[in-house]
Structure 1
Amino acid sequence: MKSTLYLCLLLLGLHVQGHHEPSHNNEQEEQKRVHSPGDRRQAEGENLAHLKIAPSNADFAFRFYKQVAAEAGDKNIFFSPLSLSAAFAMLSLGARAATRQQLHKALAFNLTEIQEWEVHEGFQRLLQLLNDPHREVQLSMGNALFVDDQLKLLKKFVDDVTNFYDSEAISSNFQNASEAKKEINDYIEMKTHGMFVNLLKSLDPYTVMVLVNYIFFKGYWEQPFSSLLTSDDDFFMDAKKSVKVKMMHRNEAYNTYRDEKLSCWVVEIPYKGNVAALFVLPDEGTMKQVEAALLKETVSNWAKSLNNRQIYLHLPKFSISGSYDVKHLFQEMGVTEVFSDQADLSGMTENTRLKVSKAIHKAKVDVNENGTEAAAVTVVEITATSLQLPPPPVIRFNRPFLMLIFDKAASSIIFIGKIVNPAASEE
């Protein structure tokens, strides 16, 4: 890869469970009211819809990071919280009762503070912003539903996922598992520009639907690093282990902040097209305290405190990936019902009981002198100034650090990573 690519795949396997009891009439009426179009707001309000869900998406991003970090040990971390949020928010359109409540809670949506239609219109606006073809950055996000040709979905569910999430509905023959798997894999490979080939290894024999969300990002630094200055260097994974890396070097003015309370440096490196990467370098031995403080309030404070100053920057080239069992991670976060026989996904279909059997997320990132290429797929298988200027600080990313990629136009965190070993081979 020649820049950063991230793919988030959520595979939601829907299992047939038998006949489904019809939903309560009052809840059906609520759904009609919640999602019905109308004169609820002016066009200006619609254009700002994504800002209403930004705090919840940030809360979810850091909650999920901490859940992953608790189990990752000394492994690299890289995922797209936005891909996960979008995939499960889309799934919630078909969820009812406690199943829906658990999903909303996990995604950090408090429906006493935000109405459900605002959640989905927020994602609708996010998709419009991210997929704007006139931007300098190459960024795309989308969704697809692969549906067994014998499964009849409710028209309202299809209309809602199409309207809010611009989802394609693709009829598939899941009785021919190999054919269906190839169709899904080909779609993912195409949408992620070849980043993920044959991602889906198998399909449960009871699968009747697969939900896919993908994000692809390819960004070029506003000021690229010179490859002539890249040199071999040591990266210290911990006090005892080090690896050789290709270290990029630049003497330039960057938005920088020294957080003395958390003992870390924060450096913002902008891409062309209103996207930026935030690199966080904890002092030796302070990674855990920085991770513990990783909240939207902390990151917001970093962003407000950034100050443009000259620095000597040393940043390694790296190419890493992450693969996650989202079903397990969500269960640890309290989302249990949607994966059980008690799942209520009656907003999808009237006559067939469904549950999520599998949810996986795969992400890759590549950072080099020109920029970053990243992709993610979520697949849900259903089933200060001084007179005497001091010398510029040297900020050397030669020990574990964090990376966040922000889309400023969409006010969204697209990717989060923790680089423990830049030389690690991809999973």
Structure 2
Amino acid sequence: MLFVSISFPGTVKRKMKPTTSLCLLLAGLYTVSQCHQHPRYRNKQDDPKGTYYPGPSSHGEGVYTVKNKTFTKLAPSNADFAFSFYKLVASEATDQNIFFSPISISTSFAMLALGAKSETLMQILEGLSFNLKKIQEQEIHEGFCQLLQLLNRSDSELQLSLGNALFIEETQKPLQKFLDDVKNFYESEVFSTDFNNSSGAENQINSYIEEKTNGKIVKLVENLDPLTTMVLVNYVFFKAHWEKPFSTLYTKEEDFFVDQETSVKVDMMYRKGYYRNYFDEKLSCWLVQIPYNGNVAALFVLPDEGKMKQVEAALLKRTVSNWEKSLHDRKIHLHIPKFSISGTYDVKRIVKHVGMTDLFTEQADLSGITEDNGLLVSKVIHRAMLNVHENGTEAAGATVKEVTWRSGDVPHPPRIRFNRPFLLVILDKYTRTVLFIGKIVNPMKTD
């Protein structure tokens, strides 16, 4: 969940159409069950413009992709921003759980860029790690448009929805071009809102957020400034099932070592099977990729004791790319804790470190939103949630295809036990989009 408030500086009267709030929402749900599903994207019938065409998937089925793959130009920059943002959060949240959606934050600021001009616009796009010598502003918005179409999908095994909404003061007259662009590029819904009635506006926005996150994020917006003229909401909802489910029969209570002096009891899931994994000797960490149904995968990173900061420092697009190339299928004994965590962040303070400074001062140029001068961003809050568990051994009738383990092969498969702080990256494999990044220091601490 990301909440951004845009304001006029100083004491302003309502007749000047003052504060604009931009509220961006994220809720991420990480659910595991026993079902099996092949990757599936929107089909051709869902796209009247004929954007997609059938192509082969890894399972031999058709997967609908984009002819003009502008979205692929976003992947490197989005990844750079994701890992930069993580390091900034980690520098402030020492020895704390971390969980956020970088694509939610990127999408929100990219949408805001539609209303920005001059230096403010440059700072937003460069702060999102875009090299404007290599990619044009129009391509960025076209890429996000395609990305939203590809990421938004829902079936019985995977639900992923990422969207936007604008709540605009009923007396406010935003520029028509801005309204057209947020609808065309970001599929944003637009609602008329009476911000003079603060409680009514809060209820309207919170009800929308609660509905879009299936009731997981409630009452995000509180104490809304009555001078607000616009709120922008960005939401992400993710619910998926493990391709190779865990059985609750093997879950048992074990110790999780938060640090050298502290341990907590957790419900530890267990499964023996083939997973793509790798031990990085240079960084001293185990890597295990656990796939979901629906072409999404979670990369679990387990640093050796005392090596977390070393691994975090190396957390770059290049590092993760090298990890993925090094992963290979091998049978392992895998132990993963069940946990639920959430994270709330003051994004305004964090993104100042990547050069987005004018946006929050009287130097802000948001004249692409409205002809009124003086808009600035006063608040940016992001909230994300994560829930990891086995869920669904009642669906044990599903078949999981896996290479048979022969008695003569690797008699002692490694045992990888995530019983100390670890990292987590959830990736949409088709678009190469980092959906979520987390660090689990204490799985028993929810926030």
User: Structure 1-normalised TM-score?
Assistant: 0.86
AA matched with 2:252: S
Is 2:8 the counterpart of 1:16?
yes
d(CA) in 2 for partners of 1:360, 1:256:
35
- In structure 2, the partner of 1:29 is none
Is 2:183 the counterpart of 1:162?
yes
- Note the alpha carbon deviations across 1:382-402, whole angstroms, 9 max, x for none: xxxxx9735100100000000
Q: Contact (CA 8 Å) 2:428, 2:434: kept in 1 or not?
A: yes
How do 1:9-408 residues align onto structure 2 when only pairs under 5 Å count? 9-17=1-9, 47-133=68-154, 136-370=157-391, 389-408=410-429
- Note the alpha carbon deviations across 1:250-308, whole angstroms, 9 max, x for none: 11100001111110000000011101100000011100010000000000011111100
With 195-204 and 236-245 compared, the bigger mean Cα shift is at 195-204
d(CA) in 1 for partners of 2:155, 2:239:
14
d(CA) in 2 for partners of 1:115, 1:329:
25
Q: Contact (CA 8 Å) 1:51, 1:122: kept in 2 or not?
A: yes
d(CA) in 1 for partners of 2:360, 2:226:
16
AA matched with 1:11: F
Q: Contact (CA 8 Å) 1:192, 1:214: kept in 2 or not?
A: yes
d(CA) in 2 for partners of 1:45, 1:134:
20
Instruction: Report % sequence identity.
Output: 59
Q: 1:309 to 1:363 in 2, by over 3 A?
A: same
d(CA) in 1 for partners of 2:66, 2:336:
41
The structural deviation recorded for 1:204 is 2.1
d(CA) in 1 for partners of 2:189, 2:320:
35
d(CA) in 1 for partners of 2:354, 2:73:
23
d(CA) in 2 for partners of 1:389, 1:420:
32
The structural deviation recorded for 1:205 is 3.0
Q: Contact (CA 8 Å) 2:153, 2:159: kept in 1 or not?
A: no
Q: Contact (CA 8 Å) 1:235, 1:242: kept in 2 or not?
A: yes
Give the match's secondary structure for 1:418: strand
Q: 1:366 to 1:419 in 2, by over 3 A?
A: same
Q: Contact (CA 8 Å) 1:46, 1:121: kept in 2 or not?
A: no
AA matched with 1:78: F
d(CA) in 2 for partners of 1:45, 1:407:
15
d(CA) in 2 for partners of 1:390, 1:163:
57
- In structure 1, the partner of 2:398 is none
Q: Contact (CA 8 Å) 1:221, 1:370: kept in 2 or not?
A: no
d(CA) in 1 for partners of 2:332, 2:66:
41
Q: Contact (CA 8 Å) 1:189, 1:196: kept in 2 or not?
A: yes
Q: Would you say how many aligned residue pairs link Structure 1 and Structure 2?
A: 383
Q: Contact (CA 8 Å) 1:13, 1:204: kept in 2 or not?
A: no
Where relative contact order (Cα < 8 A, 6+ residues apart) is larger, the structure is 1
- The CA RMSD measured in Å over matched residues stands at 1.9
Q: Contact (CA 8 Å) 1:46, 1:125: kept in 2 or not?
A: no
AA matched with 2:150: L
The structural deviation recorded for 1:336 is 1.3
Q: 1:46 to 1:203 in 2, by over 3 A?
A: farther
Structure 2: unaligned runs, 5 residues or longer = 18-50, 54-64, 393-407
d(CA) in 1 for partners of 2:68, 2:258:
44
- Note the alpha carbon deviations across 1:225-248, whole angstroms, 9 max, x for none: 010110000000111111110000
User: Structure 2-normalised TM-score?
Assistant: 0.83
- Note the alpha carbon deviations across 1:61-98, whole angstroms, 9 max, x for none: 00000000000011100000000000000000100111
- Note the alpha carbon deviations across 1:200-245, whole angstroms, 9 max, x for none: 1221232111111000000100111010110000000111111110
Q: 1:348 to 1:410 in 2, by over 3 A?
A: same
- In structure 1, the partner of 2:62 is none
The structural deviation recorded for 1:131 is 1.2
d(CA) in 2 for partners of 1:188, 1:179:
14
Give the match's secondary structure for 2:153: coil
AA matched with 1:14: I
